[in-house]
Amino acid sequence: MDLPTKYIFVTGGVLSSLGKGLSSAAMGALLESRGLTVTIQKLDPYINVDPGTMNPFQHGEVFVTDDGSETDLDLGHYERFTNAKLSCDNNFTSGKIYHSVITKERRGDYLGGTVQVIPHITDEIISSIKLVAAGVDVVIVEIGGTIGDIESLPFLEAIRQCHTDLGKDNVIYIHLTYVPYIKTAGEVKTKPTQHSVKELRGIGIQPDILLCRTDRYLSAKIKAKISLFCNVSEDAVITAKDVKNIYEVPLGFHKEGLDKKIVELLNIWTRAPQLDELKAFIKKSESVKHKVTIAIVGKYVDLTESYKSLNEALYHGGVANDSKVNLIYIDSETISADSCAQDLMEADGILVPGGFGKRGIEGKICAAQYARENKIPYFGICLGLHIAVIEFARNVILLQDANSEEFDQKTPYPVIYLMKEWFDAKTGTMQRRDVTSAKGATMRLGAYPCQIKKGTLAYQAYGVDSISERHRHRYELNNTFRDQLESHGAVIGGVSPDGELVEIMEIKDHPWFLGCQFHPEFKSRPMNPHPLFRDFIKAALLNSKDSVD
């Protein structure tokens, strides 16, 4: 007989940034290593329908899934740590829940009734949770925010009800809390944890397992104290110690007995966890022999959360090349043609990541020119492709003031433009857009097929002629300029199946210069590094004289 789907609800206490997303992902990895199938869902308490319209300064990276959903960056952790296939159903915000309830109310679905948080909103949340359960053994649901926030109350009420709704044998609650070491007292303190659990119990949720984030291992005495005050068994008090490398988190949890406790509480029989591959990856990453320096020339350089997947993909590409990757973030607003050589002196490779808006564009163009002329490996991602095309048009084809319509609507040479009409291979329909189109969820989003041309850097990397990568952009390369680009030494390395959308541009006579219209960083995995990142790092390494000291 098939077991019913089991549910793990993960909440956070005391303060934010304790690593709830990573912990949920690591739990998923451990359960998969025992042979279970898992999925992970994030419930976010804010009102935006999705994070797509939010500034990366506020919210960090927007992670894009294959189906084109713009989601929370924690979904990036989930995908990097597990094999779960994530979609729009893996991320719900309060806005999305309310939007759906209000749409139903307007349609008349609740005619005669007063629509309320309980039961209408909570029922909607519970149905959203159940949406991802089909075909998986365990659903992990992470609740965003911290216990005590007003905003997350409907979500907490909904997961409280799940205990009865889904069956008490099928549900456990895991609470991530903080156990600080107080220097002046010379000991760790459990009071914040006690208060946080008290607050959670006030809402009606008794945690089954406590993940205690701390900078040191908790002694048996401390665990016993937490156990006593929080009504959790001693072996369910898990030390979540700080780690140097995030991929060590599952190993640390396993050592503390987390996966054993989870399967015991959920009453599932599994094989022993198989963690050899992950252990080998950690070992390899700790003994790399080389060092390479990559300059990321972007706008959100003060906040590395904005480039989460990018940083991870570079790290994966580094390990694959037996190399440490030293990242230097350069604010493109501070670069000019005169300062470029100085600013980028240390860079063995230059990367211009995705981005929106005009600010810092000219600095990025200078960086691309510097990379092209000095034969420094260049990797342009989405906006980074646009930058490479503008630079090439201006300085090689000599189209003065060539630009993207995104930055200059009156440019005489709109080499990047808003394509008014294009065939969408994903939906099989013609798409139309202009400057008045709505901003939310209207970009070219999610996985699109791309045909790779033989003999290109892209073909060398992928080794196949047909790929699928994820997109998130409005503007495209203008086909009017394609012949000119090619006759001046640019190579169109990849196009959509109908040949109309340029997906990759490279340039000849350069060690490695590639811009792509998609975001390869979303698909890189520690044990399966993305081929473009791997080859970019390889090319940068050839340009580097450093090795790990």
Active-site residue list:
382, 519, 521
By beta-carbon proximity to ligand GLN, the closer residue of 146 and 332 is 332
Q: Which two tokens stand for residue 117?
A: 């948080």
Burial of 121 (0-12, 13-18, 19+ CB in 10 A): buried
3-state helix, strand, coil in the chain (%, to 5): 40, 25, 40
Q: Which two tokens stand for residue 164?
A: 């009865």
By beta-carbon proximity to ligand GLN, the closer residue of 120 and 474 is 474
State the minimum distance, in angstroms, from the CB of residue 491 to ligand GLN: 21
State the minimum distance, in angstroms, from the CB of residue 475 to ligand GLN: 3
Question: Which positions ≥6 away from 291 have C-beta within 8 Å?
Answer: 323, 324, 325, 326, 544, 546, 547, 548, 549
State the minimum distance, in angstroms, from the CB of residue 518 to ligand GLN: 9
User: In whole angstroms, what is the distance from residue 138 CA to residue 36 CA?
Assistant: 7
User: In whole angstroms, what is the distance from residue 284 CA to residue 548 CA?
Assistant: 14
User: What are the angstrom distances between the C-alpha of 57 and each of 299, 300, 305, 308?
Assistant: 10, 7, 8, 12
User: In whole angstroms, what is the distance from residue 198 CA to residue 196 CA?
Assistant: 5
**Omega of the bond prior to 119 within 30 degrees of 0, cis?**
yes
Residue 32 three-state SS: helix
State the minimum distance, in angstroms, from the CB of residue 163 to ligand GLN: 41
Question: Which positions lie near ligand GLN, rule CB under 6 A?
Answer: 354-356, 382-383, 406, 472-475
User: In whole angstroms, what is the distance from residue 132 CA to residue 87 CA?
Assistant: 9
* Reduced 3-state DSSP string for 442-500: CCEEEEEEEEECCCCHHHHHHCCCEEEEEEEECCEECHHHHHHHHHCCEEEEEECCCCC
State the minimum distance, in angstroms, from the CB of residue 472 to ligand GLN: 5
